[in-house]
Every structure is written in structure tokens, then in C-alpha cells.
């Protein structure tokens, strides 16, 4: 158990470090042609490898770190009940979007994010939906500590999807309009070159796989985490938001940052502060047995959840 906990934090640190490396390359090294020309042949090869694969590496590390966290905190069955629908439904949306323009609008991926599935969508993109989607949904599920009626579960899904979309408010303009873009829009729109349809697609896709995961978890098996347990997904969200913010500043795109702060960061921090403190929770082991249904587990075997008031 301790090894899993250590590994989740190590891979999260590596995920954040990889994003920092990418920012240095995109914002400081690439515009400095004199520095690039001064590199040795080996240095040029390392730089080229970093720029071609750096985006894929940080997303892979993000998926690994949130998987280790989910394994320890939620148990294997809850983790896979979110991982499978989030990866496959988001991939379906992305393949549909790059093929037909629905639901995000007309766009296509360029290089730098890994090998493309069906020549359209980098394999890392569904991983980013997974790790950011799980972070957002676990934070949003904090609202369920005040009741678990179906309307409150809908509220948590909507809140999680909104926080996920708010990250894209900041990320998408920068990643598509930076000096080294990772995708391009064929359907220019009103939001800094992007169609507003893109955000409806993000909300719909996020809400879809969060709904499926919530149904698979079941009404009486929703993970409601305390403040200490939520530190990991909060750091994951804030770290990725800061990455997008710095990219946006580098591209001189500022209004989306304030929109993201209002609809993304503010709710994330608000949910974290409203979560139960550790002393208000039932202290139970976090890792469920792989061979036992989490719904049927006794309290002594279930993940730690917030005590309802």
C-alpha cells in the first residue's frame, strides 16, 4: 500500500515536471533560434525528441498517476468503472469530431501528442479526458455528502463536466494558436478562433462518461472523499490549469483565463473547502479486494468515505 501511495505522488511530480519541461521548450527554446542553432547534433536530437514526444509523455504520466491514486483511494472496481467509459466514450467523441465536425466543430490534430488512432486522434487524448475527468468528478462528488438523491447526483455530474470544460476554456486557444500548435480548427468561431460548439461538445462528452461511471458505481457506492483525500485531484487540476494559463499568456490570450478561474478553479477550491475534514470521516482501509464487489463490502473493507450528516 505504501509503495502505491509513494508511486502516485512520484508520478504526479513527474507529470508536473514534464509539463514544465514542455513550457520551457515551447515558450523559451523554440522562439530562440540562435540557441537551437548552437546545439550539438546530440542536443538537436534530444530537443527534437522532446518536442515530438513531450506532450505524449506528460499525458501518459498523468494517466498513470491518477490510476495509482484511484487504485489506492477508490479500489480497482471503482477505478475501472470510470476509466473504461471515460477512455472509450471520449475516444468515440474525438473520432466523430475529427471525422464529421460533431460534437466539437471541425478540427484536426497535428503532431506532438503521440501516435494517432485511425490516423485521426492521438492515443494520449482519451488518457487526458480520463485523468482530468476523474479529478473533476471526485471533487464534484463532494456535494453528495449533503445528500444522495438522484438530483444531487445530476448536480455533481454537471459540476464535474463544467470544471472539466473550464480547463479547456484556457487550454484550447493556446494549444491551437501557439507558435507550435498541436491541433488546428477548420471551423473558425467566436471564442478566440474556436466555435462555441466546442464547449457544448466538451460538456456533453464529460457529462456522458461521468453519468455512466456514476451508474456503474451505484447509488450507495458513490466515492465521497474527505479534504485530505482530495488533495491529489486538486493538485492535478490546478497544475494542469496553470500549464494552460502560462501557454495562454505566452500567446497573449487572457480573457479565457479569467473565465476558467471563475468556472473552474473557484468551484474546485470551493468543493475542497466544503469537503469533510479527516476527523469527520469513517476511517476504513482504502484498497478493496479485487475479487469482491465493492457494493457488498463491509465497512471495514470499503474506501474511506465522508460520514453523512
Residue-level pLDDT at 288: 42
CA atoms within 13 A on the CB side of 122: 21
Helix (DSSP H) and strand (DSSP E) numbers for the chain: 10, 4
Residues 179-204, mean pLDDT to the nearest whole number: 88
Q: Is the pLDDT of residue 247 over 50?
A: yes
Contact by Cβ (8 Å): 113, 59:
yes
Instruction: Determine the Cα–Cα distance for residues 71 and 83; give it in Å rounded to an integer.
Output: 11
pTM for the full predicted model:
0.87
Which tens digits make up the pLDDT trace of 38-90?
777 776 666 666 666 667 999 999 999 999 999 999 999 999 999 999 999 99
CA separation, residue 196 to residues 192, 199, 210, 255 (Å): 10, 6, 22, 15
Average pLDDT over residues 22-38: 76
Which pLDDT value is given to residue 102?
95
Gap between the Cα atoms of 258 and 179, Å rounded: 22
Which residue has better confidence, 161 or 54? Answer: 161
When pLDDT is averaged across residues 214-233 and rounded to a whole number, the result is: 95
Mean pLDDT, residues 5-23 taken together: 93
Amino acid at each position: 500500500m505504501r509503495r502505491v501511495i509513494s508511486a502516485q505522488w512520484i508520478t504526479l511530480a513527474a507529470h508536473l515536471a514534464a509539463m514544465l519541461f514542455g513550457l520551457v521548450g515551447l515558450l523559451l527554446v523554440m522562439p530562440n533560434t540562435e540557441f537551437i542553432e548552437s546545439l550539438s547534433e546530440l542536443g538537436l536530437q534530444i530537443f527534437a525528441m522532446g518536442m515530438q514526444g513531450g506532450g505524449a509523455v506528460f499525458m501518459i504520466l498523468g494517466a498513470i498517476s491518477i490510476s495509482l491514486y484511484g487504485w489506492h483511494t477508490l479500489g480497482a472496481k471503482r477505478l475501472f468503472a470510470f476509466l473504461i467509459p471515460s477512455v472509450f466514450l471520449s475516444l468515440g467523441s474525438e473520432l466523430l469530431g475529427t471525422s464529421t465536425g460533431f460534437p466539437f466543430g471541425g478540427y484536426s490534430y497535428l503532431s506532438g501528442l503521440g501516435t494517432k488512432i485511425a490516423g485521426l486522434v492521438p492515443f494520449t487524448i482519451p488518457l487526458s479526458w480520463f485523468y482530468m475527468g476523474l479529478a473533476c468528478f471526485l471533487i464534484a462528488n463532494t456535494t453528495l455528502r449533503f445528500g444522495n438523491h438522484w438530483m444531487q447526483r445530476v448536480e455533481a455530474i454537471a459540476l464535474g463536466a463544467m470544471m472539466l470544460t473550464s480547463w479547456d476554456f484556457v487550454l484550447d486557444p493556446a494549444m491551437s494558436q501557439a507558435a507550435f500548435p498541436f491541433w488546428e480548427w477548420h471551423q473558425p468561431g467566436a471564442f478566440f478562433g474556436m466555435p462555441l460548439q466546442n464547449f457544448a461538445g466538451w460538456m456533453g462528452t464529460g457529462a456522458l462518461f461521468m453519468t455512466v461511471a456514476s451508474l456503474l458505481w451505484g447509488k450507495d457506492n458513490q466515492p465521497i472523499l474527505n479534504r485530505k483525500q482530495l488533495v491529489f485531484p486538486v493538485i492535478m487540476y490546478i497544475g494542469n490549469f496553470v500549464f494552460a494559463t502560462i501557454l495562454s499568456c505566452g500567446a497573449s490570450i487572457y480573457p479565457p483565463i479569467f473565465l476558467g478561474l471563475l468556472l473552474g478553479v473557484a468551484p474546485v477550491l470551493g468543493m475542497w473547502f466544503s469537503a469533510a475534514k479527516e476527523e469527520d470521516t469513517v476511517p476504513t482501509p482504502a484498497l478493496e479486494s479485487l475479487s469482491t464487489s465493492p457494493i457488498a463490502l463491509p465497512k471495514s473493507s470499503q474506501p474511506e468515505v465522508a460520514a453523512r450528516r
